[in-house]
Structure 1
Amino acid sequence: MKMGMRGAAASVLILAMGATGTVMSQQPAAAPAAAKETSNLNPKQKLGHAIGADVARSLEAIKTHIDLAAMREAVQATFDGKQPLITQKDAQDTDAALRQAMMIANGQQVPGMAPGSAAPKVDNRKVGLMLGSYMVGPSLAELKGDIDVDALFDSVKTAFEGGQPKISQEEGAATLQAYMAGKQAEMQAKAAQLGQANRQEGNAFLAKNKTVPGVVTTASGLQYQIIRPGSGERPMPTSKVKVNYEGKLLDGTVFDSSYQRGEPVEFGLDQVIKGWTEGVALMPVGSKYRFWIPGELAYGENGTQGGPIGPNATLTFDVELLGVQP
């Protein structure tokens, strides 16, 4: 799972809705009734009810326009890896109609519509499909294995109808907090394990690679090989350089390439990873070097968030130095 626990709390859903323009009233949600006994709920059901209550609070203002069966259908399709059950065009049109209807209901003037115009017809099923396909479903997809979908939608339905929730708001908050803490610990443990494996793989590779003819190892552990010599000036560690480059993981996966983008890049050597700052400063203009950069001189224990560079990963770069500016 990616960092940030996307979709585990209502704030994420609200941000997703704001980004797509779905209307949200400033009206507060109705106070829920007292919670039922929860001792018979398993962890997935508790999490489903906790998240469902958050989803319901986020959608309170538009609940009369939501076909919950359609929303559930679309969420399940997302969880199953299927295509959205409504096209983006239909979703955009539905969103526009919903916003206009809500503005008129709240006594607001809709731009481009004459005063007193009737509210546009809102297709509740399409609203449900839109929410499930592009907001709720994607926001919760990474948690799908930990959520009881029946409990999730039972919680939403109960809240919309003003019924008695199966868990209290306090227990729901505690359930979410415990779940997120557990997932955070799990991610940290996995990252530590992966980081150790990457470090061992990188050390073994570099130990063997240093014996290859033409490979030079610097005091920092950086390794390089001259593919094509050059005769121009060498940059200072603070210089701005113009380069073409390609970066690979040890398994050969290309994760970044100016060649693929079709144009070189310019940047300051004091604005990049340590291996680049040290290595490119060794190059004369016109040359092409291959660098092997150990994890501590690359992206360290964090790697790049969400990939593709893992913690402590050793990287390979082919770099052409095209120009230098002071």
Structure 2
Amino acid sequence: MKMGMRGAAASVLILAMGATGTVMSQQPAAGAAAKETSALNSQREKLGYAIGIDVANSFAPISSEIDLAALRRGVTNAFAGKPPLISQEEAQKTDAALRQAMMVKSGQPVPGMAPGTPAPKVDREKVGLMLGSYAVGPSLAPMKEDLDLDALFDAVGTTFNKGTPKMTAEQAKATLEGFMSAKQAQAQADAAAQGGKNREAGNAFMAKNKTVPGVVTTASGLQYQVLRPGNGERPLPTSKVRVNYEGKLLDGTVFDSSYQRGQPIEFGLDQVIKGWSEGVSLMPTGSKYRFWIPGELAYGEQGTPGGPIGPNATLTFDVELLNVLP
């Protein structure tokens, strides 16, 4: 969850209408399962409580419409990776009813509804399931091992009921920021370690591959092999070309393929990775080459954020040069 959970999940429901007149919920935090603690002893509890405050503040204007036990069921279900406890169609109907109810309560005109019409009845259980299944649960699932769910719902219930929280707003903010900083530092360390492994694997592969008959190594370290010769025009490093291609990791995983999409691609050679700019410039139109591109000529130490190309990964491309475009 980003620090922007506040407003992210709630914005689609609250309509940014500032429903300040909404009455706060008077309901138990999360049923009998909620942990009644007088202190937050572990980091998981502290993080869960801080996130719970954030979640509660996000949904404060609609707190009276939320069944917290249902919200918890939806979140727990999402954490388990199971299908939502409420269908998407039913969630959309619940969302529409909630929107209308909140607009009526705040005195805003509702399209298609005559003035003075009572607010539509909202099923609080369905609202809880909707939020837990489609907003809170999926948002928090990636960090489910890092937080205590009992502490989270303890904070939600306390905040909704205007009780005395076990954390100040400043403490909650510091907890969230500390967690995110630690996660970012760990991600950077993991990326650096993976980058080192990928570099070693790539160097070993390229050293062996350059001894294969027909493989040419350029001064930059790019390697290529002619799979099918051509006799057409060669592009310049600034040319626009039309190609078919397939890209693979060293383990053979295909991460991109115009063949699979059934559609060649057009691009300028000054708009792609260095290995492509150099390699395709060597090709006559009509030819097909195989390129082995070391990490420094591909996506470097960053890789592609979120995958599939890791830091310093050496890549393999089969490329057909179809046309040099005007």
Tell me the TM-score normalised to structure 1 length: 0.92
CA deviation map 1:175-226 (0-9, x unaligned): 1111111111111110000000000000001111101111111000001111
- Partners of 1:259 and 1:279 lie apart in 2 by 19
Structure 2 residue aligned with 1:205: 205
In 2, the alpha carbon distance for the partners of 1:22 and 1:14 equals 9
- The verdict on how the C-alpha distance between 1:154 and 1:200 changes in structure 2, with shifts beyond 3 A counting, is same
Q: Which residue of 2 aligns with 1:80?
A: 80
Matched positions, count: 312
In structure 2, stretches of 5+ residues that fail to align are: 24-36
Alpha-carbon contact 1:8-1:51 (below 8 Å) kept:
no
TM-score (norm 2): 0.92
The one-letter code matched in structure 2 to 1:159 is: T
Question: In the aligned structure 2, how far is the partner of 1:64 from the partner of 1:23?
Answer: 16
Aligned to 2:122: 122
SS in structure 1 of the partner of residue 57 of structure 2: helix
2:7 match:
14
Verify the 8 A CA contact 1:294 1:312 in the aligned structure 2.
Answer: yes
Assess, with a 3 A threshold, how the Cα gap between structure 1 residues 220 and 195 changes in structure 2: closer, same or farther. same
2:310 aligned with 1:304: no
Among candidates 6, 18, 26, match of residue 18 of structure 2: 26
Counterpart Cα distance in 2 of 1:322 and 1:218? 23
Where does structure 1 differ by over 6 angstroms across 4 or more consecutive aligned residues? none
C-alpha displacement at 1:81, in angstroms? Answer: 1.1
CA distance in 2, matches of 1:47, 1:235: 56
Matched with 1:325 is 325
Does the 8 Å CA contact 2:240/2:266 hold for their aligned counterparts?
yes
- Maintained 8 Å contact 1:13/1:136: no
Q: Structure 2 counterpart of 1:190, which letter?
A: D
What's 2:156 paired with?
156
Q: In structure 1, what is the equivalent of residue 34 of structure 2?
A: none
Q: Retained in 1: the 8 A contact 2:10–2:59?
A: no
Unpaired segments ≥5 residues, structure 1: 1-6, 31-36
Contact 1:24 1:59 in 2 (8 A): no
Distance 1:188 1:267, change over 3 A: same
Q: Secondary structure at the match of 2:171?
A: helix
Aligned-pair Cα RMSD in Å: 1.7
CA–CA separation in structure 1 for the residues paired with 2:215 and 2:77: 52
Contact 2:13/2:98 (<8 A) preserved: no
Distance 1:25 1:114 in 2: 19
The Cα shift of 1:114 comes to 2.5
132 and 55 in structure 1: CA distance in 2 versus 1, 3 angstrom threshold: same
- Contact kept? 2:14, 2:102, Cα under 8 Å: no
Q: Which residue of 2 aligns with 1:3?
A: none
Report the 3-state secondary structure (helix = DSSP H, G, I; strand = E; otherwise coil) of the residue aligned with 1:224. strand
Deviation at 1:80, TM superposition (A): 1.0
For residues 50 and 16 of structure 1, the distance between their equivalents in structure 2, rounded to whole angstroms, comes to 16
| Aligned counterparts of 1:27 and 1:218: Cα–Cα separation in 2 | 66
Further displaced range: 38-47 or 206-215 = 38-47
Amino acid at match of 2:78: T
Tell whether 2:278 aligns with 1:278.
Answer: yes
